[in-house]
Structure 1
Amino acid sequence: MVQNRHAVIIEDDDDIAMLLHASLAGAGFTVSRASDGAEGIELVRSVKPDVITLDVGLPGIDGLETTRRIRSFSDAHIVMLTARDDEADVLMGLEAGADDYVTKPFRPRELRARVGAIMRRREAANPPTAVPVAPPSAKVQRVFTHNGLTLDRDERTVFVDGDPVETTRTEFDLLAALLRNRSRVVEKAELVRHLRDDGYQHISYVSAADKRALEVHVGNLRRKLAEDVKNPRWILTVRGVGYRLAPARDPG
């Protein structure tokens, strides 16, 4: 049984906060709430949650700056809520460090499904110590290397030419998916569903905004890897389709 799941809600609207609280508590979370960005940052620092929901239009420190500050010390999965169905709003939130977004008014069922997928990914990446380790005969690749990059799925680490690269959980999972598929082109919709661990039909639709959000995550990942866009070492864009790994280079 999974225990001690904690969620933090950063929301100044009491009615929306109550709906979020009911949705997250119903999904098995202990829930704490802050009403503004400054309070939310300190609450996240104190309780170290697994999941954070926050509004873009917070009083005082807005949601974008709140996200940036939280991301500087926390790897919690951040879901940004926006009342404006504005793609620019969504993209700015993702660039600030959010992992996902939900447009208000939102469906509690969709939020619970997305949060459930988040937790399945986190728990798969950090299995309980009581679970037996797979025997050596089980051919599950855990470490990937490509053109000077090393990704360890067990340790959740990324190194480039021996230097560590800090990634969000979403960026790490995205990079792992591309490494696992090697030279195969992975369509954007497939990557979106992979990042959501989407086994739920009611959230299986992938919109244009979802694909743009994926592009932002790829852009953030490329920036952290110091990727040369004119001569990429790792991630190639297949225009109109998706992404794949760049060809292997001669180490000499």
Structure 2
Amino acid sequence: MAADHVDVLIVGAGLSGVGAAVHLGRECPGKTYAVLEARGAIGGTWDLFRYPGVRSDSDMYTLGYSFKPWTDPKAIADGDSIRAYVRQTAREYDVERHIRFHHRALRAEWDSATARWTVHAHRDDTGEDVTLTCGFLFTNSGYYRYDEGYTPRFPGVDRYAGTVVHPQHWPDDLDYAGKRVVVIGSGATAVTVVPAMAERAAHVTMLQRSPTYVIALPSRDPFADAARRWLPP
């Protein structure tokens, strides 16, 4: 079976992948392209992560698109708002029809003689193996395996009678109301999840290896709020 060919193949339909597709469509309208997305939804990180309080740790005026400026009052935005922003962008700029969902890119091979990439993907929905070729391969899949997540080895955890949860695989039905919780780590995820869980849990303890410098800031940017009244997007 002949492989599908496009000028540009984008891997990932998250914030970066959708942005890449829009820029390509605007700057090179004559180029054909496809977007491979391993999961069944647009949004990448912001669709996958559903732990309490999930939000950006960068202001969205910087993280957002230059062609679609962030207009929400919250500069430090929650996950739901960012996911909606990415999906709205994909609809507005006709990116959706170029996305091939459930296509997990496995490997790519470059051939100098033909100046082409051959990309091998697997369809998680049908079990089929798919081959595509392209002149330019653009990966927007990040540098972590988001669907697995790193879990350190904790000797004796098998004897623990409580519930162990990884934030990247947060159960929809997890009830932690009135429970005593320990959050291991003090990075961006921990700083996000601790105050959110503290609203319902009996007690939340952050267990960290080394001290972290943390300051409290409002989610709204007063300067941006004021500037928005006088300056264009």
> TM tier, shorter chain?
under 0.3
Which one has the largest radius of gyration? 2
* Bigger relative contact order (CA 8 A; separation at least 6): 2
Specify which structure has the higher proportion of helix: 1
- Per the normalisation by structure 2, the TM-score is 0.22
- Per the normalisation by structure 1, the TM-score is 0.21
